[in-house]
Amino acid sequence: MPAARESLLDAAFTALGSRPWQRVRMAEVAAAAGVSRQTLYNEFGSKEGLARALVRREADAYLRGVERALSGVSGAAAPGERLG
């Protein structure tokens, strides 16, 4: 994942930790990531696009942790196998 994209997702995650999503401003996220608003919009298209990417990243990280935790349990199916 490109560095600017990761920085933007990190900045959005940090902002979300201190206020509700409705109060998170794109200009603040861009400034915290050290990029322009245009870069943010080029990368995600909209605030909704940023939210989707953030949720996807965090869900993927969570599922990787679950897979690691279950990898030592005999007979445990991978999370994706149980859901699919």
Provide the 3-class DSSP secondary structure of residue 25: coil
Rounded percentage of the chain residues whose pLDDT exceeds 70: 86
Query: Considering the domain 3-71, what is its CATH architecture?
Result: Orthogonal Bundle (1.10)
pLDDT in tens, 44-77: 999 999 999 999 999 999 999 999 888 877 665 6
The count of other CB atoms within 10 Å of the CB of residue 28 is 15
Average pLDDT over residues 8-24: 97
CA 13 to chain centre: 7
DSSP 77: P
For the chain, the domains span 3-71
